Amino acid sequence: MAINADIFYKAALKYTQEAGQLIREKISVVNKTVEIKSCEIDLVTETDQQVEKLLIGNLSKEFPDHLFIGEESVANGTKCNLTDDPTWIIDPIDGTMNFVHRFPHSCISIALFINKKPEVAIIYNPIIEQLFTAKRGHGAYLNGKKIRVSGENDLSKALIVMEYGTSRDVEKLKVVAANQDMLMSQVHGIRALGSAALDIAMVAMGAADAYFEFGIHIWDIAAGELMVTEAGGVIMDPSGGPIDRLSRRILVASSNSLAKQLSEKLIQYYPTPTD
């Protein structure tokens, strides 16, 4: 049976915009109360928790049979389990480190998966008013205007986004640095926004050509998956194989050919649960 995602999309948009108000208000606070999660650069603020509570509270009232995977709920012990049931995957603030420092690139990332496929996705940066939206089969949009990937297929002309992530694992950092060193002289440039969801959105809108990361979580990339594929891009494992959303590895690109060139060059890293 065809899924009518409109009702889900409208509800997600309403509550995401409402929650965005909290981020907009709180980003300018200078000394935010910050707690540490898995390590000293994996942070959470009161606002992360409030946004997640607002989204899950309202969506679960509207859709009582839906399930939720939320970054902060998982941090507090809820199981991270993706089944075929309708499941909202939520990162209440992607780019928490940016939020803490008032660097204006943080967003809410929210997606609804049904039968393990993304149907609806929103990535919303309320600080600079970038609202990325997508519904399966209906394209991807930035502030209501259709977006497309660049289609770049030459690595030497590509702008690549990559991140160091939120782990201090020495082996992992060595691999990330080695990849950066290796790519620097072979591409147009390297960037990092500090938010996986916004990094993917940059590829979706054609402002960057590819993004990869080792150590991300499903809530960082769930909305980005639909955004970039609806914009004509590809998503896969950094080795070039199919994406495993729980493997904590991702590569997105503006074309298959670019993804292949990048995956063949990348030094691979397989995160452990503590990375």
- Residues at the site binding ligand IPD, with contacts judged by CB under 6 A: 71, 91, 94-97, 163, 165-166, 194-196, 213, 215-216, 220
Instruction: Work out what residue 119 binds among Ca ion, ligand IPD, none; the CB cut-off runs from 5 to 8 Å by kind.
Output: none
Minimal distance, residue 133 CB to ligand IPD, in Å: 19
Task: Give the span between the Cα atoms of 65 and 90, in whole angstroms.
Answer: 17
Choosing from 16, 96, 166, 229, the catalytic residue is 96
Minimal distance, residue 91 CB to ligand IPD, in Å: 5
Task: Give the span between the Cα atoms of 249 and 125, in whole angstroms.
Answer: 23
Q: Please state whether beta strands 210-214 and 159-162 pair in parallel, antiparallel, or not at all (unpaired).
A: parallel
Binding mask 200-239 for Ca ion (x = CB under 5 A): --------------------x-------------------
Choosing from 220, 225, 230, 275, the catalytic residue is 220
Give the interface segment with Ca ion, choosing from 50-58, 88-96, 133-141, 156-164 (CB under 5 A): 88-96
94 among known catalytic residues: yes
96 among known catalytic residues: yes
- 144: left (phi > 0), else alpha (psi -120 to 50), else beta? left
Tell which residue, 71, 72, 65, has the closest CA to residue 86.
65
Asked whether position 163 contacts Ca ion by CB under 5 A, the answer is no
Task: Give the span between the Cα atoms of 38 and 110, in whole angstroms.
Answer: 22
Tell which residue, 51, 66, 68, has the closest CA to residue 15.
51
The residue ranges of DSSP E strands in the chain, in sequence order, are 34-36, 43-45, 67-70, 87-94, 107-114, 117-125, 130-135, 140-142, 145-147, 159-162, 189-191, 210-214, 234-236, 249-253
Closer CB to ligand IPD, residue 96 or residue 150? 96
Closer CB to Ca ion, residue 52 or residue 220? 220
Task: Give the span between the Cα atoms of 205 and 121, in whole angstroms.
Answer: 15
Minimal distance, residue 19 CB to Ca ion, in Å: 15
Choosing from 23, 45, 47, 71, the catalytic residue is 71
Query: Site residues (CB under 5 A) for Ca ion?
Result: 91, 94, 220
Q: Which residues are catalytic?
A: 71, 91, 93-94, 96, 220
